[in-house]
Amino acid sequence: MVLSRRLLLAAATASLPLGRAIAAEPILAGVSGPLTGPNAQYGAQWKRGFDLALDQINGAGGVKGRPVAYVFEDSQADPRQAVAVAQKFVADPKIIIELGDFASPASMAASPIYQRAKLVQFGFTNSHPDFTKGGDHMWSNSTNQAEEQPHLAEFAAKLGFRRPAVLHLNTDWGRTAKDAFLKAAPGLGLEVTTAEGYLPAEQDFRPTLVRARDSKPDGLVLLSYYADGALICRQAHDTGLALPMLTATSTYSPKFIELGGAGVEGAYVLSTFFPGDPRPEVQSFVAAYRAKYSQEPDSFSAGAFDTMMLFATLCDHYGPTREAMQAGLLDIKDMPSVIYGKVTFNPETRRVQGANYRLLRVKNGSFTVWDGVKAA
């Protein structure tokens, strides 16, 4: 116990920006997420977004003279470890909010613990519709599939799709997305020819694509993450399947283009976040991100950045206590955000409405804003 306490403190200090150490006691957020295991890549993206936000917050003197910091506990997105981490956080009075976990089994297993301790669990990647129903201390600014999918369907219609085929990850996220898309489609004159689920570890999509092709669609809608989305586009390209592709916001990542190569050229990508977006909060985020990491941000790092900024703002406006976090989330209005233009939480669903959706198109190996021309 003594040992782990020391390590915790070590971790806390380690996440402080070294340049401008502020003497006062830091305000701490606890982060529960994957640093190892199969989802480690997402934890790594989170860290980049968090650290960038902290550079700005603490660079500007922190909050009320105190630096903001986070303690990142590796849960491997495994429920067993996530509940242990939760107990650790709730028992530590210095932690005033919890961010994460990544996957639903881990996040939702920990929810009862946070709820009982009245520590806000802020799941910024948790799109499972039941996540915020776990208790009144479960909040999320994850893009909401009930909101996103009608937008995606609308763009499908605008692109001239009449009979799209849907390929979706067969996980809680992919299922939520698919159900929302299928619900929105008929009202927009779309007749979905088939909806094919696939497993997260899948790499060979050729037979799935043949199946989709045989349903005679005029376009493919991918409810995928970027890695599998890229594989699908590539294999469609390689097998000569010349259908326009429309993909969900979760595929927006530089990796989508890197992994997809020629296969994703011409693909339409829905996004809530686009580096070319002229809004100042986007521009400053993108510029800072490129400067710090020499790479392009994606929607995971943008979400993490938004969340850490939100945390700092909550501390600043409502005070650095657990109670203030809950009160602040109920009260805060029009918080500027990279993903959303302005963030206001719905006190009933404890989620955010009104992300900025725009359609991008991959052209010459980079994302560009869709020019409004229908797909062939």
Partner 1 sequence: MGSWLDYTINGLIIGNIYALVAVGLALIFGVSHLINFAHGSVYAVGAYVGWACFTYLNLPLPLTALVVIMVCGGLGVLIERLGLRPLAGAPRIAPLLATIGISLVIDQVLQILFTPDPRALPSPLPEWRITIGSGTIGALDVLIAATGLVSAVVLYGFLRFTRLGWAVRATAQDRDAARQVGVDTDAVNRAVFAIASALGGLSGLLVGMYFNHIDPAMSFQATLKGVVAQVIGGMGNVPGAVAGSLLLGLTESWGVALFGSSYRNLFSFVLLLLILVLRPNGLFASARTTPPEPMTGTFIAPSRVVRVPPWAVGLAVAAAICVPLIPAIPYVLQVLTNAWLMAMLAISLTLVAGTLGQVSLGHAALLLLGAYASALLTLDSGWPVWLSVPTAGVLTAVIGTALVAPAFRLRSHYVSIATLGIGEIVSLVILNWESLTRGPMGVTNIPPLAIGGLELDSPQASYWSSLAVLIVLAGLQLRLLRSHLGRTFRAIRDDDVAARAYGVSLDRYKGIGFAFAGFGAGMSGAIAAHLYSYINNETFTSTVSITALTMVILGGMGNVLGGILGAVALTALPELFRGTAEYRMLIYGVVLLLLIRFRPQGVLGTV
Cα three-residue angle 241-246-250, rounded to 5 degrees: 125
Nearer to partner 1, 263 or 328 (CB): 263
CB of 157 to partner 1, least distance (A): 26
Residue 130 per-residue DSSP state: T
Nearer to partner 1, 350 or 358 (CB): 350
CB of 164 to partner 1, least distance (A): 17
Strand partners, 72: 31
CB of 368 to partner 1, least distance (A): 20
In 3D space, the residue among 195, 206, 199, 190 whose CA is nearest the CA of residue 165 turns out to be 195
Nearer to partner 1, 228 or 306 (CB): 228
Nearer to partner 1, 190 or 257 (CB): 257
CB of 146 to partner 1, least distance (A): 14
CB of 233 to partner 1, least distance (A): 11
Per the CB < 8 A criterion, the answer to whether 176 and 183 are in contact is no
CB of 373 to partner 1, least distance (A): 27
**Which residues, 6 or more positions from 352, have their beta carbon under 8 angstroms from its beta carbon?**
140, 141, 144, 340, 343, 344, 345, 346
Other Cβ atoms less than 10 A from the Cβ of 290: the count is 13
Alpha-carbon gap, residue 307 to 151, rounded angstroms:
23
In angstroms and rounded to an integer, the radius of gyration of the C-alpha atoms of the chain is: 21
CB of 203 to partner 1, least distance (A): 5
Nearer to partner 1, 177 or 246 (CB): 177
Lookup: tokens for 23: 């003497």
CB of 204 to partner 1, least distance (A): 5
Cis peptide before 101 (omega within 30 of 0): yes
Nearer to partner 1, 5 or 342 (CB): 5
Per the CB < 8 A criterion, the answer to whether 82 and 54 are in contact is no
3-state SS assignment for residue 242: coil
State the distance between the two ends of the chain, measured CA to CA, in whole angstroms: 64
Nearer to partner 1, 63 or 257 (CB): 257
Lookup: tokens for 104: 């639903």
Per the CB < 8 A criterion, the answer to whether 32 and 97 are in contact is no
Nearer to partner 1, 30 or 62 (CB): 30
Per the CB < 8 A criterion, the answer to whether 182 and 221 are in contact is no
